[in-house]
Amino acid sequence: MNLGRSHPLLKRLRLLRKSADARREQGVLIAEGVHLAREALAAGCELEAALFDPRLAASEEGADLLAVLTEHDVPRHEIAASVMDGLQDARSPQPLLLIVRTAALAGRPWRTLRDPLVVVCDGVQDPGNFGAILRSADAAGAAALIATGPTADPHHPRTVRASMGSVFRLPLDRMELSAATRRLRDENLTLIGTSVCGGEDYRDARLTGPCALFFGGEGAGLGEAVLHTLDRTVTIPLHAGVESLSVGAAVAVTLFEAVRQRRE
């Protein structure tokens, strides 16, 4: 069935793309493209609906996925390519959109590790940055990620896209910062903050053992009041004249230093 621009399903999709409240109330997120479709299925998520345009079946990968969707009894709806492109804000729109139920992602236990590494994001507000952080944390083998403060919605379409599927794999909790620090201390993790200056050189700091790395939002970073509640602070030295790294870069650099130390 080829849906027109004014079809109720397309109106719903537009609302879900814009509104975090609608996504939360309906318990869904929007995923774009073949790769994210396969990641959602692998995570055990229910696919409520799939919208595709003729470009999808033109590729072997796309045709294979359509067959997989049929096997899983996912309702499929064809739309024109021009309509599909208008539903996305990416530079290279995908020929497939999915409405994915998020129930399978809620309350997932942390990854069981001998020396868990947990990432805490406090006030990372840009969805693209947050998605990239999810991807880095997943790649580094983090046990979980905790979002506190006004951190971006993990189910925002740009977060999901930038995570490249990590949103479906990495355990993620959202809670108040005070609750996060209590839980982490109850788990006997060392709490390590990051700051643009004044901390121990991250290369010299001990990042082994059970620990949680705290990162602040774009611009302001972690506040002094937060840093005082943590056990230690680390800093990434920068070339003269450079004020700071992006939060996504800081997370990746620090995480993979922790990975390096744990492998030695």
The pLDDT score that the predictor gives to residue 90 is 83
The pLDDT score that the predictor gives to residue 1 is 55
Largest CA distance in the chain: 61
Residues of the chain with pLDDT under 70: 1
User: Nearest Cα to 52, choosing from 34, 27, 68?
Assistant: 34
- Tens digits of per-residue pLDDT, 85-111? 999 988 889 999 999 999 999 989 999
The pLDDT score that the predictor gives to residue 6 is 82
Side by side, the strands of the sheet bearing 2-3 are 2-3, 76-79, 47-52, 96-101, 28-32
User: Nearest Cα to 129, choosing from 99, 151, 100?
Assistant: 151
The pLDDT score that the predictor gives to residue 60 is 95
How many H helices and E strands in the chain? 11, 12
Residue 235 tokens read as 């800093």
- Say whether pTM exceeds 0.85: yes
Reported as half-sphere exposure (CB side, CA atoms, 13 A), residue 251 has a value of: 31
DSSP 230: S
DSSP 168: G
Q: For the chain, what percentages of helix, strand and coil (3-state, to nearest 5) are there?
A: 40, 20, 40
SS3 251: helix
The pLDDT score that the predictor gives to residue 215 is 98
- φ, ψ at 36 (rounded to 5°): -70, -30
Domains of the chain (ranges plus CATH)?
Answer: 2-105 (3.30.1330.30), 117-263 (3.40.1280.10)
- φ, ψ at 258 (rounded to 5°): -60, -40
User: Nearest Cα to 56, choosing from 44, 45, 67, 40?
Assistant: 67
